[in-house]
């Protein structure tokens, strides 16, 4: 019996299928994943460079289900940032696409399967791992921050079970991948569907590619997930006119969708007899915390809904007192078994136990209405979601100052970051640098040159004063 999934019980049912016609039954996935885990030789730390490919999936399932702790990283991560992470955590192995293996000189390939290979790093002095630690997820995938979320086996199983319950998943489902495997939303789709014996349709192709839609139609996908930007793209593609009879459910998370798009997709779903499910979550809560029941999607436009089964929401004011009146803003606090253990910033932290005790202060400001449906209205912390990726603004500031030794500050709204500098000569270099480090599309970044970065007497940047330079 694995740590999360009982794969052999679904025997000959197809677990995963890719666009090239390759597939694995649950028995085969079980065998492949056990073989890989055996090669790693027991509990240890592994870095996985993720793609939406079968090899990447075998790694994820094989490691998690067999007690090996993997760090799920983007295969596009900047090399210098990856080197920092390796130095900070000293993993025993890397699980990487074969075509990227040569970038790791001196590491020995000990096993290979489905275009992925297991590289022994040769690092000595590995860090001890807390027994319940199951998986590590980056907090800011793109800036390469060494800060990871520590997720336990209980977290993963509890959240997946809850998701399968509220989405009413069964073995007839065929979700198609639209999100990366280094992203908790993408992983939660895998986690919940493998609990019920569904078939994952795997492709590295995106919504803007013909191959994606050909595979979608040929393999009869029943669901997909998307961040707000995904729905903007679908809107632009005039998705509503596409013939997708197999589609049953669209889920949305990874930031707040605009009320206009919420309305459009909810109305489309209602007309077509499909479900549109707005959800709310964070890596710190494994993945999901709230969902808007699809039958109320039209009526509760702009809401992220109610707590998932097994979870509880409350709002607290600045003095930590619980808010009991509707339409009053407070910080959203979540309680549930999927609240993760805490963070790690270096290898020594991997032995740490549960630091949260099942309670998460989300950092999101919210209100509830008369029916206790919740609405996110703002954010306490300084980060943006750029195309669904969390980008920490303080980290961006630090990176710019570290690289150029100049005065700089970043601010903005989701999908639009503004980089403030005082010396126009640095405009292009700063922008190019941030684009290169985050690996996000340049369309999200603008530089604004101002005379002076506003600061208070203590030298703290007054970010609020930057807002006058861009329309919110």
Partner 1 sequence: MTNLEKYNEAFTATFEIAEEQLKGLQYQDIDAWDSVGHMSLIAALEDTFDIMMDTDDIIDLNSYEKGKEILSKADYGVEF
Positions that interact with partner 1 (CB under 8 A): 206-210, 212-213, 229, 232-233, 236-239, 241-242, 387, 435, 439-444
Task: Give the shortest CB-36-to-partner 1 separation in angstroms.
Answer: 29
Nearer to partner 1, 204 or 394 (CB): 204
Helix (H) or strand (E) holding 446: strand 445-449
Task: Give the shortest CB-442-to-partner 1 separation in angstroms.
Answer: 6
Task: Give the shortest CB-223-to-partner 1 separation in angstroms.
Answer: 19
Nearer to partner 1, 23 or 56 (CB): 56
Nearer to partner 1, 39 or 439 (CB): 439
Q: What is the distance between the alpha carbons of residues 150 and 135, in angstroms, rounded to a whole number?
A: 6
Q: What is the distance between the alpha carbons of residues 116 and 237, in angstroms, rounded to a whole number?
A: 34
Q: 130: how many CB neighbours lie within 10 A of its CB?
A: 17
**Strands of 14-18's sheet, edge to edge?**
23-25, 14-18, 200-202
Task: Give the shortest CB-458-to-partner 1 separation in angstroms.
Answer: 38
The pair of three-digit structure tokens given for residue 70, joined into one six-digit string = 């993997």
Tokens 């790093």 correspond to 121
By the 8 A CB rule, do 38 and 6 touch? Answer: no
Alpha helix (H) residue ranges in 303-456:
393-404, 427-438
Tokens 């969902």 correspond to 291
Task: Give the shortest CB-446-to-partner 1 separation in angstroms.
Answer: 13
Nearer to partner 1, 270 or 439 (CB): 439
Nearer to partner 1, 303 or 438 (CB): 438
Task: Give the shortest CB-342-to-partner 1 separation in angstroms.
Answer: 33
Nearer to partner 1, 212 or 426 (CB): 212
Task: Give the shortest CB-77-to-partner 1 separation in angstroms.
Answer: 13
Task: Give the shortest CB-415-to-partner 1 separation in angstroms.
Answer: 9
Beta-bridge partners for 23: 17
Task: Give the shortest CB-387-to-partner 1 separation in angstroms.
Answer: 6
Task: Give the shortest CB-16-to-partner 1 separation in angstroms.
Answer: 23
Nearer to partner 1, 9 or 209 (CB): 209
By the 8 A CB rule, do 45 and 69 touch? Answer: yes
Nearer to partner 1, 33 or 143 (CB): 143
Residues sharing a CB contact under 8 Å with residue 414, sequence separation 6 or more, in sequence order: 228, 255, 256, 384, 385, 386
Nearer to partner 1, 376 or 444 (CB): 444
Task: Give the shortest CB-370-to-partner 1 separation in angstroms.
Answer: 38
Nearer to partner 1, 334 or 445 (CB): 445
Nearer to partner 1, 115 or 165 (CB): 115
């Amino acid at each position: 019996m694995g740590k999360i999934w009982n794969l052999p019980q679904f025997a000959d049912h197809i677990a995963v299928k890719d666009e090239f016609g390759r597939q694995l039954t649950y028995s085969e996935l079980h065998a492949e994943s056990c073989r890989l885990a055996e090669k790693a030789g027991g509990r240890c730390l592994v870095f996985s460079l993720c793609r939406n490919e079968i090899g990447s999936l075998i790694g994820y399932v094989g490691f998690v289900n067999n007690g090996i702790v993997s760090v799920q990283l983007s295969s596009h991560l900047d090399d210098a940032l990856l080197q920092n992470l390796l130095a900070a955590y000293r993993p025993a192995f890397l699980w990487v696409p074969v075509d990227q293996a040569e970038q790791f000189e001196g590491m020995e390939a000990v096993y290979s399967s489905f275009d992925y290979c297991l590289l022994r790093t040769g690092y000595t002095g590995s860090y001890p791992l807390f027994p319940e630690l199951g998986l590590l997820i980056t907090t800011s995938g793109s800036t390469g921050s060494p800060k990871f979320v520590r997720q336990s086996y209980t977290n993963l199983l509890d959240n997946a079970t809850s998701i399968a319950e509220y989405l009413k998943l069964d073995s007839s489902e065929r979700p198609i991948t639209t999100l990366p495997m280094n992203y908790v939303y993408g992983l939660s789709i895998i986690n919940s569907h493998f609990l019920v014996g569904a078939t994952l349709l795997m492709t590295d192709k995106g919504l803007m590619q013909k191959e994606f839609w050909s595979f979608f139609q040929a393999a009869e996908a029943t669901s997909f997930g998307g961040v707000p930007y995904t729905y903007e793209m679908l809107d632009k593609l005039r998705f509503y006119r596409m013939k997708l009879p197999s589609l049953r459910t669209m889920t949305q998370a990874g930031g707040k969708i605009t009320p206009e798009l919420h309305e459009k997709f909810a109305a489309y779903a209602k007309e077509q007899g499909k479900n549109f499910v707005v959800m709310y979550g964070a890596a710190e809560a494994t993945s999901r915390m709230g969902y808007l029941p699809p039958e109320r999607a039209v009526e509760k436009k702009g809401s992220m809904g109610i707590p998932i089964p097994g979870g509880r929401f409350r709002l607290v004011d600045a003095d930590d007192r619980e808010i009991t009146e509707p339409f009053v803003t407070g910080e959203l606090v979540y309680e549930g078994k999927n609240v993760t253990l805490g963070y790690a910033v270096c290898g020594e932290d991997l032995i740490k136990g549960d630091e949260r005790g099942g309670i998460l202060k989300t950092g999101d400001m919210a209100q509830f209405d008369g029916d206790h449906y919740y609405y996110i209205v703002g954010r306490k912390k300084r980060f943006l979601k750029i195309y669904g990726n969390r980008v920490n603004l303080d980290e961006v500031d630090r990176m710019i100052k570290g690289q150029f030794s100049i005065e700089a500050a970043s601010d903005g709204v989701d999908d639009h970051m503004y980089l403030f500098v005082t010396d126009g000569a640095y405009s292009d270099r700063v922008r190019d640098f941030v684009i290169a480090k985050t690996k996000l599309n340049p369309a999200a970044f603008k530089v604004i040159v101002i005379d002076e970065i506003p600061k208070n007497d203590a030298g703290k940047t007054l970010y609020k004063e930057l807002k006058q330079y861009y329309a919110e």
